[in-house]
């Protein structure tokens, strides 16, 4: 069974940093691309970014709203994906979901988010 479990959320002041973890199991992490999607309170889904599998070079891609502030990485040995968030803003307040990316192209036109974690809440406030 595919499982993704996020952790590391909490209350953080604007301008500070926070790292989220996504502990995975039930699939071959090294062969999978992993994405992050967030949802502000009462709002819709917003894509944050993703990291391609090692098969696709492990490249990362980010939404314009977080480019330069957020970094996604993966620990293949521990099968954990990370979302390092810096220079946090109040508008970054959201539930952050970790997702496995299915599809034949590892993160492109054929891809889709086929498994989701339960989410972790990040609140940016002074």
Partner 1 sequence: SYELTQAPSLSVSPGQTAYITCSGDKLGDKYASWYQQKPGQSPVLVMYQNSKRPSGIPERFSGSNSENTATLTISGTQPMDEADYYCQAWDSSTVTFGGGTKLTV
Rule CB under 8 A: which residues touch partner 1? Answer: 35, 37, 44-47, 50, 61, 63-64, 97, 102-103, 107-119
**Residue among 77 and 109 whose Cβ is closer to partner 1:** 109
Task: Please state, in angstroms and rounded to a whole number, the distance separating the CA atoms of residues 41 and 37.
Answer: 13
Q: How far is CA 23 from CA 83, 87, 99, in A?
A: 12, 24, 11
- Closest approach of partner 1 to the CB of residue 91, in Å: 17
**Residue among 68 and 109 whose Cβ is closer to partner 1:** 109
- Closest approach of partner 1 to the CB of residue 86, in Å: 21
**Residue among 109 and 126 whose Cβ is closer to partner 1:** 109
- Closest approach of partner 1 to the CB of residue 61, in Å: 5
**Residue among 95 and 124 whose Cβ is closer to partner 1:** 95
Which of 59, 71, 56, 67 lies closest to 105 in space, CA to CA? 56
- Closest approach of partner 1 to the CB of residue 23, in Å: 15
Q: Which pairs with CB-CB distance under 8 Å and at least 24 residues apart come from 25-31? A: 25/79, 26/1, 26/2, 27/2, 27/100, 27/115, 29/74, 29/76, 29/79, 29/81, 30/54, 30/55, 30/76, 31/55
């Amino acid at each position: 069974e595919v499982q993704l479990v996020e952790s590391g959320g909490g209350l953080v002041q604007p301008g500070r940093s926070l790292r989220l973890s996504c502990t995975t199991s039930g699939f071959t992490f090294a062969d999978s691309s992993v994405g992050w999607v967030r949802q502000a309170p009462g709002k819709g889904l917003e894509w944050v970014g993703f990291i391609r599998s090692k098969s696709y070079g492990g490249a990362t891609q980010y939404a314009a709203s977080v480019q330069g502030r957020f970094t996604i990485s993966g620990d293949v040995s521990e099968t954990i994906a990370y979302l390092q968030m810096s220079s946090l803003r109040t508008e970054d307040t959201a539930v952050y979901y970790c997702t496995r990316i299915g599809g034949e192209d590892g993160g492109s036109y054929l891809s889709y988010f086929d498994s989701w974690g339960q989410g972790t809440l990040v609140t940016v406030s002074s």
